[in-house]
Amino acid sequence: MDVEIIELGQDRLPAVVDLCRRALDLPEDAAEAPAIVDALAARATADRPVLALGAVHGTELVGVLIGSMSQRDPHLGHVDLLAVAPEARRRGVGRALLAEAERHLAGLGAAELLLAGNPPYYAWPGIDVRYTPAVCAALRLGYRQDRTAWNMTADLAAGSAALRPTDAERRLADQGVAVRRAEPGDLPALAAFARTTFGGAWDAELAGSLGRPDAGAHLAERDGEILGFAAYGSSRPSWFGPMGTAPAAEGSGIGGVLLRRCLRDQAATGLGAAQIGWVGPVPFYANAAGARIERVFFLYRKALNGQE
């Protein structure tokens, strides 16, 4: 297909959302297209350049790719989103978009390109295995699978395990642990807690969760000292995470209480289920919220400049 690959400005983002609504074959992704595009395209920073490419046929946008550079490793580029209109598939549009992304991100210093989420802003950890054409295209275009990731689904229908009342919060209160909703003013203390306790920088995800519609966070504290937090909605309204409990407070039930508070909030926005994104401790989420593994993702990588 005769397409021109162009860089898209912010003014084209509504057209990107329209295209993603049609081109993301999984309904749960199509439904969240506005939040996904906003989270991926609008969050460039000095150390996280974002690339938005469009494939244009005549005057029509038939394909889109959003990529970015890793904040943690200046030699890694990411493809965060790739979608081609259903009527334009199997005509080289995806290939052309990826080739231009490889060229552009290599120019910014990427030695490798990952078809994988670039935290803190990601819409998927990798390619959902049910996007079979994308799996085929990744393999055909020289990417190799190096990791697998999964989400867990927590049902939020009335009466579900995630929403069942427990007396855990009262037991924590007996031990002097208070649990409450986090407010925007809590951001500096929460970000510092996350950094010193877990070494990771969750500032951006916390900032994306506090004080925004369809997003939020809860925290546990004793005598003003933060013992744990849980957040949801920073990149996608239906996605939960991140969360963390101080190692000294593990096993006290704080994590389960914080998780269920967030899930109750998400249920109150009308969601029938929440996605616990890019999961680590499967048994914890299974026990605390009746969650089950559902979405599975393959993560791919490719050396650029012919390196391996």
Ligand X SMILES: CC(C)(COP(=O)(O)OP(=O)(O)OC[C@H]1O[C@@H](n2cnc3c(N)ncnc32)[C@H](O)[C@@H]1OP(=O)(O)O)[C@@H](O)C(=O)NCCC(=O)NCCS
Enumerate binding residues for ligand X (CB under 6 A). Answer: 23-25, 81-84, 89-95, 124, 127, 131, 133-134, 136-137, 140
Shorter beta-carbon distance to ligand X: residue 93 or 257:
93
Question: Three-class SS of residue 210?
Answer: coil
| Dist CA 200 CA 106 (whole Å) | 26
CB of 268 to ligand X, least distance (A): 29
Q: Which residue is nearest to ligand X (CB)?
A: 94
Residue 57 CA from chain centroid, whole number: 30
Token pair for 113: 């390109």
Shorter beta-carbon distance to ligand X: residue 87 or 250:
87
CB of 62 to ligand X, least distance (A): 8
Pair 192, 225: CB distance under 8 Å: no
CB of 43 to ligand X, least distance (A): 17
Please state the φ and ψ torsions of residue 37, each to the nearest 5 degrees.
-65, -40
Shorter beta-carbon distance to ligand X: residue 142 or 272:
142
Shorter beta-carbon distance to ligand X: residue 57 or 89:
89
CB of 13 to ligand X, least distance (A): 17
Q: 195: Cβ–Cβ under 8 A, 6 or more apart, which residues?
A: 201, 202, 203
Shorter beta-carbon distance to ligand X: residue 5 or 226:
5
Please state the φ and ψ torsions of residue 184, each to the nearest 5 degrees.
-55, -35
Q: Is the sign of the CA dihedral 56, 60, 61, 63 positive or negative?
A: negative
CB of 111 to ligand X, least distance (A): 23
